[in-house]
């Protein structure tokens, strides 16, 4: 039960409690509608048990709305001997059958409890409708009134049964209630009507001669058989015959359900397409039967890696699909993709042969990447092909992947080897004190020196690196380089800090803090000399996990900076609870602030606010002396931008430091030039 959503667990406990409470009702007197001999009752009870032991959809091994012939006989007992005996027989039979079928304890109890409640509902209906008891007519269900009560009770029994199980299924599988019923409601109604309609007949027939009762098993057997056949047909239309998994049709339906559930609950849903690598070769060299065995092996492996309500489908050939409804965030989807990939990579033993498969996984997310089944599947497909082409375990869709021009795809492929080939370099851009104009630190900015395409800017490859997981290696590389340089600057008399940009995935990586600690240890750089820049949007994407990540990093003694401040929609009241030291006002507010009055006002109030929160404020994108002066008049602490220096290679940066140490930038006219460009807010 612990893998179920909390709402489902609560519901199940509620059903248990209601069934226990119902016992009180059974103690009240309930006159039966008919009167039968004890041996008839005994036979009805035996048939109830047999019916439970052979549920109609058992041959399909499917869990869901189960249909059993036991209902016919239990309902007959209700009519003939009242609710207490009926409930006892049905609940006990269900428990025996479920224990035999090795269902988990909570399912055993749930089925028994829901049967008790069905009998209560039907029994209450009988009590209400049967009218004054008249011995001469009721005993054989011969009055119309009694028959009417019996039929109404059958209807109530059915509706209660389907509702209680339907709600449990919907909650457990995180599906809308309607979609649970959509799959086989019509069939359930017809089959249940047929089964329950036989109950009064069983009572009357049994009373005439108990030996007639087994004869009833003949029509029941026919009904049973035809129900099973139609269920099998239904099942075949939506399932793959080789693996028994849902097929493309059902996969699309489940995707649609997941979209609707997510839009109602304000959660997200993930679609994953998985293609086995080199499956064709295995099939061709080892034969189809080995190929089939692999495909049959894959389904259960994937199912073990996801939650009970998630769907694993075979879409055809060696392509599988997974739908994950009701996820809290994108990172969870990425984590699951990792688990699925791992599950696939386990070795398989077939005919004494140890084989290994791998798969490429493409992920798309509702609502981020599309609002309908077709779009989401198409985008997951794009991501899957990128994963395959670039030998990544999984790739999450990103619009940049759509421009799958050959050169772009090639770039994705080359990214992997570029690191080993030493094509990445780190450039440094100074941060200076606005007051003294002396360098206080530098930001490390990565560049890809591509052998043919020249310098590729980070905006062209960082998103891809983030999608493919290579970002961890890139960040590790930049941190290593940056700390090395920081040490060199100190050796040359420049005691300044170095800042490194983090990606969302890095911040959420549980192993990252230990890596940083190790790098600090190896290089001997003091922790407070390292600044980690995290963008505002990144924190707000998953505030709780981000906070944990930040707290752990802060514990190491490194400084934390909120980058691109002002571009996200974070509430300052939230940011101030985070262990941050610095705020970098985004360059979009700074670059034109000498012309744009509102930019200047925003910057001033942001500086005021940040100071009140005890944060250092850095302005980025400073391109002119005027901007620098204006920032000084506002009280901003540090500045960064082309005016001081563009990002430059490590050697040039050290030369810049040497040249600029002790040099004061001319600030003489700052106050004269900008006396009161912006209103000075005294106290708010």
CB nearer Ca ion, residue 98 or residue 563: 563
Per CB under 5 A, the list member of 396, 501, 523, 546 interacting with Ca ion is 501
Tokens of residue 267, six digits: 């959660």
Torsion angle of the four alpha carbons 569, 575, 579, 584, in this order, in degrees rounded to the nearest 10: 50
Nearest-angstrom CA–CA distance, 473 and 482: 14
Decide the pairing of beta strands 439-450 and 454-456: antiparallel
Task: Find which of ligand C2E, Ca ion, none residue 484 binds, CB within 5 to 8 Å per kind.
Answer: none
Nearest-angstrom CA–CA distance, 77 and 75: 5
Residues numbered 136-165 forming contacts with ligand C2E, rule: CB under 6 A: none
- Residue 510, CA distances (Å) to 428, 513, 543 in order: 28, 7, 15
Minimal distance, residue 446 CB to Ca ion, in Å: 11
Category of 489 on φ-ψ map: left (φ > 0), alpha (ψ -120 to 50) or beta: alpha
Residue 510 sits at the vertex; the CA angle it makes with 425 and 357, to the nearest 5 degrees, is 85
Asked if residue 367 has a cis previous peptide bond (ω within 30° of 0), the answer is yes
What b/e readout covers 154-180, taking b as 16+ CB neighbours within 10 angstroms? bebbbebbbbbbbbbbbbbbbbbeebb
Q: Which of 575, 578, 639 is nearest to 609 (CA)?
A: 575
Across the strands, what pairs with 355?
A: 348
CB nearer ligand C2E, residue 66 or residue 623: 623
Per CB under 6 A, the list member of 449, 460, 608, 623 interacting with ligand C2E is 623
Per CB under 6 A, the list member of 641, 650, 653, 656 interacting with ligand C2E is 641
CB nearer ligand C2E, residue 240 or residue 466: 466
Tokens 């250092």 appear where?
A: 616
CB nearer ligand C2E, residue 64 or residue 458: 458
Element (H, E) at 270: strand 268-276
Q: Which of 529, 465, 530, 540 is nearest to 503 (CA)?
A: 465
Q: Count the site residues for Ca ion by CB under 5 A.
A: 4
Q: Which of 254, 373, 237, 361 is nearest to 309 (CA)?
A: 254
Minimal distance, residue 518 CB to ligand C2E, in Å: 19
Applying CB under 6 A, which part among 36-44, 107-115, 390-398, 617-625 lies near ligand C2E? Answer: 617-625
Task: Find which of ligand C2E, Ca ion, none residue 623 binds, CB within 5 to 8 Å per kind.
Answer: ligand C2E
Chain Cα centroid distance, residue 616: 37
Q: What are phi and psi of 110, to 5 degrees?
A: -65, -45
Tokens of residue 507, six digits: 């911040």
- Residue 269, CA distances (Å) to 246, 254, 301, 322 in order: 18, 11, 21, 11
CB nearer ligand C2E, residue 429 or residue 440: 429
183 touching Ca ion, by CB under 5 A: no
Per CB under 6 A, the list member of 106, 185, 515, 642 interacting with ligand C2E is 642
Minimal distance, residue 569 CB to ligand C2E, in Å: 18
Applying CB under 6 A, which part among 7-15, 97-105, 363-371, 619-627 lies near ligand C2E? Answer: 619-627
Task: Find which of Ca ion, ligand C2E, none residue 392 binds, CB within 5 to 8 Å per kind.
Answer: none
Minimal distance, residue 584 CB to Ca ion, in Å: 6
Minimal distance, residue 526 CB to Ca ion, in Å: 21
CB nearer Ca ion, residue 258 or residue 622: 622
Residues numbered 550-609 forming contacts with ligand C2E, rule: CB under 6 A: 563-564, 587, 591
The answer for residues whose C-beta is within 8 angstroms of residue 44's C-beta and 6 or more apart is 73, 74, 76, 77, 80, 89, 202, 206, 213
User: Is the CB of residue 362 less than 8 Å from the CB of residue 389?
Assistant: no
Q: Integer distance in angstroms from the first to the last C-alpha of the chain?
A: 54
Minimal distance, residue 539 CB to ligand C2E, in Å: 14
458 touching ligand C2E, by CB under 6 A: yes
CB nearer Ca ion, residue 220 or residue 636: 636
Nearest-angstrom CA–CA distance, 213 and 342: 57
Task: Find which of Ca ion, ligand C2E, none residue 641 binds, CB within 5 to 8 Å per kind.
Answer: ligand C2E
Task: Find which of Ca ion, ligand C2E, none residue 98 binds, CB within 5 to 8 Å per kind.
Answer: none
Per CB under 6 A, the list member of 647, 653, 660, 670 interacting with ligand C2E is 647
Task: Find which of ligand C2E, Ca ion, none residue 635 binds, CB within 5 to 8 Å per kind.
Answer: none
User: Is the CB of residue 109 less than 8 Å from the CB of residue 98?
Assistant: no
Decide the pairing of beta strands 394-396 and 638-640: unpaired
Residues numbered 415-454 forming contacts with ligand C2E, rule: CB under 6 A: 429, 445-446
Task: Find which of Ca ion, ligand C2E, none residue 457 binds, CB within 5 to 8 Å per kind.
Answer: ligand C2E
Nearest-angstrom CA–CA distance, 146 and 169: 35
Task: Find which of Ca ion, ligand C2E, none residue 64 binds, CB within 5 to 8 Å per kind.
Answer: none
3-state DSSP call for residue 345?
helix
Q: Count the site residues for ligand C2E by CB under 6 A.
A: 24
User: Is the CB of residue 160 less than 8 Å from the CB of residue 117?
Assistant: yes
Residues numbered 463-502 forming contacts with ligand C2E, rule: CB under 6 A: 475, 478, 501-502
Minimal distance, residue 579 CB to ligand C2E, in Å: 20
Task: Show the binding pattern over residues 536-575: x = contacts Ca ion (CB under 5 A), - = does not.
Answer: ---------------------------xx-----------
CB nearer ligand C2E, residue 376 or residue 622: 622
CB nearer ligand C2E, residue 320 or residue 644: 644
CB nearer ligand C2E, residue 267 or residue 437: 437
Minimal distance, residue 530 CB to Ca ion, in Å: 14
Applying CB under 5 A, which part among 125-133, 319-327, 484-492, 498-506 lies near Ca ion? Answer: 498-506
Q: Which of 585, 598, 596, 578 is nearest to 635 (CA)?
A: 585
CB nearer ligand C2E, residue 318 or residue 637: 637
What does the binding site for ligand C2E look like in residue numbers (CB under 6 A)? 429, 445-446, 457-459, 462, 475, 478, 501-503, 533, 563-564, 587, 591, 620-623, 641-642, 647
Site residues (CB under 5 A) for Ca ion?
501, 533, 563-564
């Amino acid at each position: 039960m612990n893998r179920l959503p909390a709402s489902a667990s609560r519901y199940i406990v509620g059903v248990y409690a209601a069934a226990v409470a119902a016992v009180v009702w059974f103690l009240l007197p309930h006159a039966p509608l008919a009167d039968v001999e004890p041996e008839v009752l005994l036979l009805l009870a035996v048939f109830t048990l047999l019916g439970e032991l052979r549920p109609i959809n058992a041959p399909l091994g499917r869990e869901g709305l189960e249909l059993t012939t036991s209902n016919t006989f239990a309902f007959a007992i209700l009519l003939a001997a009242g609710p207490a005996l009926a409930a006892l027989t049905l609940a006990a039979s269900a428990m025996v059958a479920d224990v035999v079928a090795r269902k988990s304890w909570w399912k055993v109890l749930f089925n028994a409890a829901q049967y008790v409640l069905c009998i209560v509902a039907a029994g209450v209906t009988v009590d209400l409708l049967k009218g004054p008891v008249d011995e001469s007519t009721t005993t054989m269900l011969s009055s119309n009134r009694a028959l009417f009560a019996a039929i109404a009770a059958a209807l109530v029994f059915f509706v209660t049964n389907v509702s209680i199980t339907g709600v449990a299924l919907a909650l457990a599988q995180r599906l809308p209630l309607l979609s649970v019923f959509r799959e086989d409601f019509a069939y359930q109604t017809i089959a249940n009507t047929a089964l329950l309609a036989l109950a009064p007949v069983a009572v009357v027939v049994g009373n005439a001669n108990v030996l007639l009762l087994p004869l009833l098993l003949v029509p029941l057997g026919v009904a049973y058989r035809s129900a099973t056949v139609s269920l099998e047909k239904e099942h075949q239309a939506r399932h793959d015959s080789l693996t028994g998994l849902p097929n493309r049709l059902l996969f699309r339906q489940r995707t649609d359900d997941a979209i609707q559930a997510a839009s109602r609950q304000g959660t997200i849903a993930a679609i994953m397409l998985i293609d086995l690598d080199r499956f064709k070769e295995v099939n061709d060299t080892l034969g189809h039967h080995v190929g089939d065995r692999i495909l049959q092996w894959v389904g259960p492996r994937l199912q073990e890696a996801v939650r009970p309500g998630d769907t694993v489908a075979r879409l055809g050939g060696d392509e599988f699909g997974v739908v994950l409804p009701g996820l809290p965030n994108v990172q969870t989807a990425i984590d699951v993709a990792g688990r699925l990939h791992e599950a696939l990579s386990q070795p398989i033993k077939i005919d004494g042969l140890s084989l290994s498969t791998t798969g490429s996984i493409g992920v798309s997310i509702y609502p981020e990447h599309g609002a309908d089944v077709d779009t989401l599947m198409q985008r997951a497909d794009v991501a899957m092909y990128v994963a395959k082409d670039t030998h990544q375990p999984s790739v999450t869709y990103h619009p940049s992947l759509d421009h799958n021009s050959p050169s772009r795809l090639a770039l994705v492929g080359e990214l992997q080897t570029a690191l080993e080939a030493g094509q990445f370099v780190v450039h440094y851009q100074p941060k200076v004190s606005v007051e003294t104009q002396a360098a206080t630190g530098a930001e490390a900015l990565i560049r890809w020196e591509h052998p043919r395409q020249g310098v590729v800017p980070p905006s062209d490859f960082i998103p891809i690196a983030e999608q493919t997981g290579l970002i961890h290696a890139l960040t590790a590389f930049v941190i290593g380089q940056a700390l090395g340089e920081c040490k060199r600057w100190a050796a040359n008399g420049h005691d300044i800090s170095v800042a490194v940009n983090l990606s969302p995935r890095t911040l959420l990586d549980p192993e990252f803090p230990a890596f940083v600690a190790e790098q600090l240890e190896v290089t001997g750089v003091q922790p407070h000399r390292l600044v980690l820049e995290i963008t505002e949007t990144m924190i707000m994407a998953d505030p709780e996990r981000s906070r944990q990540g930040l707290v752990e990093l802060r514990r190491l003694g490194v400084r934390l900076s909120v980058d691109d401040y002002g571009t996200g929609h974070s509430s300052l009241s939230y940011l101030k609870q985070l262990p941050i030291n610095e705020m970098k006002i985004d360059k979009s507010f700074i670059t034109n602030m000498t012309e744009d009055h509102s930019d200047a006002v925003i910057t001033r109030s942001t500086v005021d606010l940040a100071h009140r929160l005890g944060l250092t404020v850095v302005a980025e994108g400073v391109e002119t002396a005027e901007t620098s002066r204006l920032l000084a008049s506002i009280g901003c602490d540090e500045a960064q931008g082309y005016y001081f220096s563009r990002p430059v290679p490590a050697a040039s940066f050290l030369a810049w430091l040497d040249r600029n140490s002790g040099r004061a930038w001319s600030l003489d006219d700052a106050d004269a030039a900008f006396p009161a460009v912006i209103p000075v807010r005294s106290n708010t």
